[in-house]
């Protein structure tokens, strides 16, 4: 089975068709970098929407070697089997004690691997984090609640000689940047991967696209815009939903300019957040304003009947979202990608053909279909990249 942030109530029955899911499911590690070890806490949420940080880390991590996932409801299973039906040797454990019992040394980090809508810790979750700190583990926290500002956690840092990384905490306001227009100095294509809902697989698709283009010899950099991408090890990015709104577009613009100046890439891929049509989220609007993307790849879940956490709010159609995106911003949707939750493989194939016919743009499923189709989307929209590929290959 192969899923992208799927609710526990939505079973997947899609088979893997190529090595894309397998390559992503196996923990990505740059062997030239020293990895630090970590366990990921995802109680009752691993493989579901609110467990998207843990899901992402199991599929891809450039910074941490994940030793185990803590989720008592799936204890005893292989983490790769839970996500993609492909074993990866990472066990799902019943508790922190169970997790520690399976290692020779205390892991370097305890990562809070959930992203609940409330963005705050429960009393029990606070106690688990404090327990991890008592063992000498550093903490990675991606919530809106900044633990370094909490006197109890600050004292625990001192007592246990550990640190807390509040990933979402922005810089001081005096250091935040406003939009300047310098985005026009970025001459390479900027492609934003946006979606029709939150937690729909935008980051996963952006990661697969970035890798596929780099394998072809097209130098591509990805800009993270959420806590999970930053925890995974994105070299450039901001947690855009934690930045004061006045500075969101400017912070993203400045980050993209830094990527262009420092890396001289052929393509910049920007991870999307939320959905432009979703009234609960505004991040997509800031991404469109700050990045001024030349192209957009839209992610959609045909099997999802209503918005995440909003049962009375039906999903938009891809056509309506595309119309909104192209009306809101001076950009073009260059392709559609499918999140296959609650769909069989024949249903995925039928959806691909249906949307290609209706929308007249390329359509694929980034996890269960070849990444070549993602590359084709980009090449069709930016044919000048073909020369870049040929030049670098030679």
Give the tens place of pLDDT for each residue, 79-125.
999 998 899 999 999 999 999 999 999 999 999 999 876 768 999 99
Distance between CA atoms of 144 and 118, rounded to whole angstroms? 9
Q: What is the pTM of this model?
A: 0.86
pLDDT for 128 equals 97
Residues whose CB is less than 8 angstroms from the CB of residue 317 and which lie 6 or more positions away in sequence, other chains included: none
Which has the closest alpha carbon to 56: 229, 193, 226, 210?
229
- Mean pLDDT along residues 360-365: 98
Q: Does residue 89 come out as left (phi exceeding 0), alpha (psi in the -120 to 50 range) or beta?
A: left
Which has the closest alpha carbon to 367: 125, 46, 86?
86
Could you tell me if 237 and 229 are in contact, meaning their C-beta atoms sit under 8 angstroms apart? Answer: yes
> CA 281, 298, 331 angle in degrees (round to 5)?
90
Which has the closest alpha carbon to 41: 2, 89, 97?
97
Q: How confident is the model at residue 25 (pLDDT cuts 50, 70, 90)?
A: very low
- Mean pLDDT along residues 293-310: 95
- Mean pLDDT along residues 142-152: 95
- Mean pLDDT along residues 154-166: 98
- Mean pLDDT along residues 294-298: 98
Give the tens place of pLDDT for each residue, 30-70.
444 557 999 999 999 999 988 999 999 999 898 999 999 99
Beta bridge partners of 299: 195, 337
Judge whether residue 2 has pLDDT over 90: no
pLDDT for 49 equals 85
Q: Does residue 201 come out as left (phi exceeding 0), alpha (psi in the -120 to 50 range) or beta?
A: left
Could you tell me if 125 and 60 are in contact, meaning their C-beta atoms sit under 8 angstroms apart? Answer: no
pLDDT for 19 equals 41
Largest CA distance in the chain: 62
Average pLDDT, the chain: 90
Distance between CA atoms of 200 and 194, rounded to whole angstroms? 9
Distance between CA atoms of 179 and 157, rounded to whole angstroms? 37
Distances (CA, A) of 72 to 8, 68, 98, 99, 143: 14, 12, 10, 11, 21
Residue 338 exposure: Cα atoms within 13 Å on the Cβ side: 29
pLDDT for 116 equals 74
Could you tell me if 136 and 106 are in contact, meaning their C-beta atoms sit under 8 angstroms apart? Answer: yes
pLDDT for 309 equals 85
Q: How confident is the model at residue 386 (pLDDT cuts 50, 70, 90)?
A: confident
pLDDT for 135 equals 98
Q: Please, what's the b/e burial string for 210-249 (b: 16 or more CB within 10 A of its CB; e: otherwise)?
A: bbbbbebbbbbbbbbbbbbbbbbbbebbbbbbbbeeebbb
- Mean pLDDT along residues 179-205: 97
- Mean pLDDT along residues 299-321: 95
In terms of C-beta density within 10 A (0-12 exposed, 13-18 middle, 19 or more buried), how is residue 135 classed?
Answer: middle
pLDDT for 64 equals 95
- Rg of the chain over all Cα atoms, to the nearest angstrom: 20
Q: How confident is the model at residue 24 (pLDDT cuts 50, 70, 90)?
A: low
Judge whether residue 193 has pLDDT over 60: yes
Q: Which domains does the chain have, with CATH numbers?
A: 20-166 (3.40.50.720), 175-393 (3.40.50.300)
pLDDT for 16 equals 38
pLDDT for 22 equals 47
- Mean pLDDT along residues 353-357: 98
Give the tens place of pLDDT for each residue, 163-190.
999 999 998 999 999 999 999 999 999 9
Q: Please, what's the b/e burial string for 274-303 (b: 16 or more CB within 10 A of its CB; e: otherwise)?
A: bbbbbeebbbbbbbbbbbbbbbbbbbbbbb
Judge whether residue 250 has pLDDT over 70: yes
Could you tell me if 288 and 328 are in contact, meaning their C-beta atoms sit under 8 angstroms apart? Answer: yes
pLDDT for 393 equals 53
Among 19-23, 255-259, 322-326, 383-387, which is the least confidently predicted range? Answer: 19-23
Give the phi and the psi of residue 296 in degrees, each rounded to 5. -130, 135
Q: How far is CA 46 from the centre of its chain?
A: 15
Greater confidence, 25 or 305? 305
Distances (CA, A) of 240 to 137, 274, 283, 374, 376: 27, 11, 7, 25, 29
Q: How confident is the model at residue 12 (pLDDT cuts 50, 70, 90)?
A: very low
pLDDT for 227 equals 92
pLDDT for 251 equals 98
pLDDT for 17 equals 38
């Amino acid at each position: 089975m192969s899923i992208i942030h799927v609710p526990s109530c939505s079973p997947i029955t899609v088979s893997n068709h190529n090595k894309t899911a397998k390559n992503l499911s196996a923990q990505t590690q740059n062997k030239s970098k020293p990895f630090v070890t970590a366990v990921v806490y995802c109680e009752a949420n691993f493989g579901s929407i609110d467990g998207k940080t843990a899901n992402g880390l199991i599929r891809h991590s450039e910074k941490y070697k994940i030793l185990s996932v803590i989720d008592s409801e799936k204890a005893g299973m292989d983490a790769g089997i839970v996500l993609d039906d492909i074993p990866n040797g990472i066990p799902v454990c019943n508790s922190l004690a169970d997790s520690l019992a399976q290692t020779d040394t205390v892991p370097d980090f305890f990562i809070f691997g959930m992203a609940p809508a409330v963005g705050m810790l429960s009393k029990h979750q606070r106690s688990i984090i404090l327990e991890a700190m008592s063992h000498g583990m550093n903490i990675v926290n991606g919530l809106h609640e900044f633990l370094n500002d909490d006197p109890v956690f600050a004292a625990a840092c001192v007592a246990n000689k550990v640190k807390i990384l509040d990933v979402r905490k922005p810089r001081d306001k005096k250091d935040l940047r406003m939009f300047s227009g310098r985005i026009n100095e970025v001459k390479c294509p900027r492609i934003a991967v946006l979606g029709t809902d939150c937690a729909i697989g935008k980051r996963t698709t952006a990661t697969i696209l970035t890798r596929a283009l780099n394998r072809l010899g097209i130098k591509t950099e990805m800009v993270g815009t959420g806590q999970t991408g930053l925890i995974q090890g994105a070299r450039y990015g901001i947690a855009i939903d934690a930045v004061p709104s006045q500075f969101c577009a400017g912070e993203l613009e400045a980050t993209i300019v830094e990527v262009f100046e420092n890396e001289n890439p052929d393509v910049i891929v920007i991870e999307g957040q939320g959905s432009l049509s979703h009234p609960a989220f505004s991040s997509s609007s800031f991404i469109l304003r700050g990045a001024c993307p030349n192209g957009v790849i839209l992610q959609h879940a045909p099997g999802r009947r209503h918005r995440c956490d909003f049962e009375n709010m039906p999903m938009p159609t891809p056509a309506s979202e595309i119309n909104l995106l192209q009306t809101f911003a001076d950009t073009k949707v260059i392709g559609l990608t499918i999140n296959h939750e609650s769909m069989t493989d024949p249903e995925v194939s039928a959806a691909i053909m249906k949307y290609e016919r209706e929308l007249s743009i390329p359509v694929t499923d980034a996890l269960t279909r070849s990444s070549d189709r993602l590359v084709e989307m980009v090449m069709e929209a930016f044919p000048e990249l073909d020369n870049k590929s040929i030049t670098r290959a030679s």
